[in-house]
Amino acid sequence: MTRPGLMAAAVLALAANGVALVGVARNRAGEPRAELNLTEREAPLAWVGDENSGLSLRLEWAEPRRDWSEPGWFGREELEAAGFDCSLPLDAEGAELRYRKVLPIEAYAALEYDGEAWRTWLAAEEADLAKAEAEFRRGRLDARAIDWQRQRMKGIRVGHTRLFLIDVDREAARLRERHPDGSRTLVAHALVRLDYVQPWDEARKKQLPPFLRGSVESLLVDSLHVPRAQRATLGGREDQLRRSPVTERGPMYAVRVAYGSRLEPWIADLRSLAPTPH
């Protein structure tokens, strides 16, 4: 190889690979920042095309309930902590234009596994079912509707994710300080968005005062590659697992997910679970 351009291309390819692999090694060196024992409920198999022999798990997470007519747990203060500039008062001239033009930013999200957020959410779902049962007994709900709600709740109990978003910040360290338990809470890169909401009061037929509301659009890494060594655990049942949703049968495997110094995850362990009794 005598051409300088060719040598430059070869060196560049090697350097880029070197940078990427050193980054991986640094991420995985030392004690993981978080290590969570999840199940198929929180990490189901991701979809892949027919001609793709790779296998990955998809991190499944949920948000605490909140009413669309209020900011809930993710309001102006949290948006500022996440890195948005919310200093312009909402009633100032041009505020709507300015806030509507804001694009998503990269920040950090804390997700809690099988904690208070999940229990609160589950209790609210149970309360909704109890309310529906009462309506059914009073004859205000038909049998098909209540049956659908019962089936849904059954699915939630055995198969819904217990990984819940609980906090957001622009500093990962600050987030970890607030949620120090690395076996229950993971801190990950997330895409956070700001919405300018102007609710409409249908009863009084008037516009309510506007507010800012935050949400997490996605985790930047929500796919976990399954290395060949760990695939054996699934015993070739991938297609079967994909065909029947986890909410119908309960989780069939447990997965230990570790997060390193660069907050990039990997599968530390994957093992089979006994079928959930229904």
**What angle is formed at CA 275 by the lines to CA 256 and CA 239, rounded to 5 degrees?**
75
Q: Does 228 bind other proteins (CB under 8 A)?
A: yes
Phi-psi region of 30 (alpha: psi -120 to 50; beta: other; left: phi over 0): left
Residue 260: CB atoms within 10 A of its CB come to 20
Among the listed ranges 70-78, 103-111, 118-126, 136-144, the one in contact with other proteins (CB under 8 A) is 103-111
Q: Does 210 bind other proteins (CB under 8 A)?
A: no
Query: Which of 77, 178, 227, 269 is the binder for other proteins (CB under 8 A)?
Result: 227
Q: Does 87 bind other proteins (CB under 8 A)?
A: no
Q: Does 262 bind other proteins (CB under 8 A)?
A: yes
Considering the complex, what minimum distance in angstroms separates the CB of residue 167 from other proteins?
A: 19
Q: Within a 13 Å sphere around the CA of 203, how many CA atoms are in the beta-carbon half?
A: 0
Query: Which of 8, 127, 130, 145 is the binder for other proteins (CB under 8 A)?
Result: 8
Residues between 116 and 175 with contacts to other proteins, criterion CB under 8 A: none
Residue pair 220/262 in contact by the 8 Å Cβ criterion: no
Phi-psi region of 32 (alpha: psi -120 to 50; beta: other; left: phi over 0): beta
Give dist(CA 264, CA 89) in Å, integer.
37
Q: Does 104 bind other proteins (CB under 8 A)?
A: yes
Q: Which is nearer to other proteins, 83 or 155 (CB)?
A: 83
Q: Does 225 bind other proteins (CB under 8 A)?
A: yes
Residues between 28 and 67 with contacts to other proteins, criterion CB under 8 A: 49, 51-56
Whole-number CA gyration radius for the chain: 23
Q: What binding mask, one character per residue, do residues 164-193 give for other proteins by CB under 8 A, x or -?
A: -------------------------x-x--
In sequence order, which ranges of 165-273 are alpha helices (DSSP H)?
172-178, 228-231, 238-243, 246-249
Considering the complex, what minimum distance in angstroms separates the CB of residue 158 from other proteins?
A: 28
Q: At 98, give phi and psi (nearest 5°).
A: -65, -50
Terminal-residue alpha carbon distance, the chain = 66
Query: Which of 143, 203, 229, 274 is the binder for other proteins (CB under 8 A)?
Result: 229
Residue pair 193/118 in contact by the 8 Å Cβ criterion: no
Give dist(CA 39, CA 253) in Å, integer.
6
Q: Does 83 bind other proteins (CB under 8 A)?
A: yes
For other proteins (CB under 8 A), the number of binding residues is: 50
Q: Which residues bind other proteins (CB under 8 A)?
A: 1, 3-6, 8-10, 12-14, 16-17, 20-21, 23-24, 27, 49, 51-56, 83, 94, 97-98, 101, 103-106, 189, 191, 220-221, 223-225, 227-229, 231, 262-266
